[in-house]
Amino acid sequence: MLVGGVDSPVRAFRSVGGSPVFFARGTGAYLIDVDGRRYLDLVSSWGANILGNAPPGVVAAVRAAAVRGLTFGAPSPLEHELAEEIRRAVPVAERLRFVSSGTEAVMSAVRAARGFTGRSKVVKFDGGYHGHSDGLLARAGSGVATASLPDSAGVPSAVVGETLVSRYNDPDSLADLFERQGSAVAAVVVEPVAGNMGVVLPQPGFLSAVSRLAHDHGALVIADEVITGFRLRRGTVHESLGLHADLVTLGKVIGGGMPVGAYGGRRDVMEVVAPLGPVYQAGTLSGNPVAMAAGRAMLDRLTASTYSTLERLGAQLEALLHRLSDEVGGAPVTLTRAGSMLGLFFAGGPIRDRQDAERSDRNRYARFFHAVLDRGVYLPPSALETTFLSAAIRPRDLQLAESALRAGFRAARSA
């Protein structure tokens, strides 16, 4: 039996109560549960399914690759083809290495940064989630925040002691940290748009300050774009927001729905990784041909029109939620959005960091969630997660969801 009946904690519905929905299949904008009921999918496999569920071109590429071999544990041309595609869209990734998850990607990037700099400490931001490796579970977001755990049992204090935590959107906090311990810091790891405490946008000047402070003290910058990479634009978004990264991590979208992660960066930094350098990292299934074929097929279909569609859908959903929350009233609501990523907080005022995000009323969100779910719309089963739209959604799908969302706000309003 599975632990808690699930393979990832947030799926257990502990944050919102009730029993999780078990899905049998998905097609386009919709998921179908084991009882045959259909739901508009506003989770999109936590951002990975940017084209919707089972896009035909990606499925065809997976089938073609699978009959040639599921895994070789050896090099294949598909790895290099996808790497070249990513390289063209992500200038910082002069050298790249595929792994099997976002957690592995960030863990490996941190190890490379430590190997390159000869330093041990890493800076992260309160509420930022960078996978479940031991050292990065210090005051993390996502499922850890959902469970109200500041970190995880089973993580030695000595390991977490190598992680320094600053406040997101607070350059003064980071400057103070570097003033005290800057000579020991190997890298700062940051999500350019935080996506694991809801959607928290960087304030003007924050990311450029992160780059300046890190580089002034000889530390590297790791842009964690596991969520935002190829989700908000073709390639990465950190450059356009003022962050000058030395390493970048990717996942989700670049796998086309298959398990994948990648880390890359400056050539001199990446060449400390074995077999060229002393930093060891390996994986039997890294770069497996099925995931590489899915990723290549996905990226081939991400056009300028795709991102225009996603932006329009995101703006439409944001406007719809604003209108309905105003019409129903009774509970303060704050919405944040970056393209097709949207955060819904049952709290008033701006959301700039984890402390602001934690003001969201989880009980109201739970009532909202179940009222909407009962009417055929699947949202993140946590008050501190991100809603993701896919390009398979049509404006009429959101129009049809209006009555479900209105019912959700009415449920949230009730005492």
Task: Return the pLDDT at 136.
Answer: 84
Cis previous bond, 332, omega within 30:
no
- Nearest Cα neighbor of 313 from 9, 42, 14, 3 is 42
Closest by Cα among 136, 46, 144, 43 to 357 = 144
pLDDT digits (tens, 9 = 90+) for 104-160: 999 999 999 999 999 999 999 999 999 888 788 766 544 443 333 345 677 777 777
Cβ atoms of 414 and 328 within 8 Å: the answer is no
Could you report the per-residue pLDDT of 43-61, keeping only the tens digit for each? 999 999 999 999 999 999 9
Per-residue pLDDT, 147: 35
DSSP per-residue string spanning 155-171: --HHHHTTEEEE-TT-H
Active site residues: 129, 224, 252
| Residues 256, 21, 25, 63, CA torsion sign | positive
The residues, ordered by sequence, that sit 6+ positions from 380 with a Cβ below 8 Å of its Cβ are 10, 42, 43, 46, 386, 387
**What are 57's two structure tokens?**
């071109």
**Burial class of 180 by CB neighbour count within 10 A (0 to 12, 13 to 18, 19+):** exposed
Averaged pLDDT, 75-102: 97
* Residues 187-241 pLDDT 10s: 999 999 999 999 999 999 999 999 999 999 999 999 999 999 999 999 999 999 9
Spatial CA neighbour of 198 closest among 259, 255, 127: 127
Biggest distance spanned by C-alpha atoms of the chain: 62
**Any idea how long the chain is?**
415
Predicted confidence band of residue 27 (pLDDT cuts 50, 70, 90): very high
pLDDT tens for 366-406 read 999 999 999 999 999 999 999 999 999 999 999 999 999 99
In DSSP terms, which residues pair with 251 in a beta bridge? Answer: 261
Provide the whole-model pTM: 0.95
CA distances from 383 to 16, 141, 247, 325 (A): 8, 11, 30, 16
Q: Which domains does the chain have, with CATH numbers?
A: 3-55+303-413 (3.90.1150.10), 56-300 (3.40.640.10)
Q: Is 144 left (phi over 0), alpha (psi -120 to 50) or beta?
A: alpha
3-state secondary structure (DSSP) of residue 177: helix
275 upstream amide cis, omega within 30 of 0:
yes
Q: Which helix (H) or strand (E) holds 213?
A: helix 206-216
pLDDT digits (tens, 9 = 90+) for 288-345: 999 999 999 999 999 999 999 999 999 999 999 999 999 999 889 999 999 999 999 9
Tokens 């706000």, residue? 409
* Backbone Cα Rg of the chain: 21
Close Cβ partners of 330 (under 8 Å, ≥ 6 residues apart)? 409, 412, 413
CB 106 within 8 A of CB 131: yes
Q: Tokens 């002069």 correspond to what residue?
A: 94
CA 309 centroid distance within chain = 20
pLDDT of amino acid 150 = 41
Alpha-carbon torsion (338, 339, 342, 347), positive or negative: positive
